[in-house]
Amino acid sequence: MTRKIVIKLTKAGGRTGPFSISDNYGNVLATDVPKSELIRGLTFLIDVNVSVIIITSLGGCGGKCIKTINIPIGELYYIDVASILFEKKDTSSMWRHLTSPRIYNCYYGNIEPYIIEYPFTYQYNDEILQNVKDYTRAYEYPDIPDGVWNDNARIEVDDKWFNKAVVYNGQQSSGILELVPKPMHNLKDYMKYPIYNTDSKTITYTKSDNFYQYNTFWSLVKNKFVPLFTTSCCSLSLDKVVNQLNMDYGKRSFKKEPLRAKELKVRHILDNSCTTHLVSQFIVTPAQISYK
């Protein structure tokens, strides 16, 4: 036997939704339900033995902010659903920072990107970027017997660093560069790079004389009359993301347009680890004058 229920959202914050709805037996009633539809109310037929409805807010960007609410089903009674008005409810919360030196960019179980961007302005002539050299110290905190961590317990590592980079100017962009350590003493693995992915390009970096260095980039812009970036939907702290629809990550044996202009920006991103402590010092971008 089945019975009819109506699910209506009466109170929610501004960043909730879309929603997934299921019951306590694992049956999925609906997926990717917009908040506007849930505010109006949705009707479902469920088994009479169902005792709990599970509503999951998947977050507005890739499901990074997942919240689940279990709603028990009690005795049936009539309610005029149309008379229930929606109330927008935004609540503040307290963020606890640095409670452990082993965790840095992890908030409520989610790794949030650590991003640092450097602007450069050249002199009279345009300049062509050759490579990027970054002086950053990367620390890890290993397990210690007494469980009390301090600065003396950390170690400086060479194989941890930013895992993504974007190099761009007003009309050119390298797209997403996935950064991985250069395979040492393994020419076969090294020859695999660069790797051309669907929405990124994987290149290697090295650490020499305490500088992290990488190159193997060129402009991947398809159309200079289309924006290079779009507004982020994840968080207001992320002001922009690469417009992937305007990037060509395919292999090129020609038309490798160098990054050439009177200004340049280098954006480094760490979003795959929350246990790496990066202390950025300074960055240099060796370039050569481009005469035309």
Q: Is residue 101 part of a domain?
A: no
Residue 136 sits in the same domain as residue 237: yes
Q: Is residue 98 part of a domain?
A: no
Q: Is residue 134 part of a domain?
A: yes
Q: Which of 53, 88, 123 is the last residue before a domain boundary? A: 88
Burial label for 42, CB within 10 Å (0-12, 13-18, 19+), is middle
Q: Which residue has the tokens 């895992």?
A: 163
CA torsion, ordered 251, 252, 253, 254, to nearest 10 deg: 180
Q: Is residue 96 part of a domain?
A: no
Residue 177 sits in the same domain as residue 276: yes
Q: What are phi and psi of 83, to 5 degrees?
A: -85, -10
Residue 56 sits in the same domain as residue 130: no
Provide the number of structural domains found in the chain: 2
Q: Are 126 and 262 in contact (CB under 8 A)?
A: yes
Per residue of the chain (292 residues), give pLDDT as tens.
788 888 888 877 666 778 888 888 888 888 888 888 888 888 888 888 888 888 888 765 444 455 666 667 765 555 666 667 777 766 666 666 666 777 788 776 678 888 999 999 888 888 889 999 999 999 888 877 766 666 677 888 888 999 999 999 989 999 999 999 999 888 888 899 999 999 999 999 999 899 999 999 999 999 999 999 988 765 555 778 899 999 999 887 677 888 999 999 999 999 888 888 899 888 888 888 887 7
Residue 185 sits in the same domain as residue 51: no
Q: Which residues contact 245 (CB under 8 A, 6 or more apart)?
A: 226
Query: What residue numbers bound the domain in which 185 lies?
Result: 106-289
Residue 73 sits in the same domain as residue 170: no
Q: Is residue 75 part of a domain?
A: yes
Residue 83 sits in the same domain as residue 133: no
Q: What is the pLDDT of residue 96?
A: 66
Q: Is residue 97 part of a domain?
A: no
Q: How far is CA 165 from the centre of its chain?
A: 12
Residue 171 sits in the same domain as residue 234: yes
Q: What is the pLDDT of residue 220?
A: 92
Residue 283 sits in the same domain as residue 140: yes
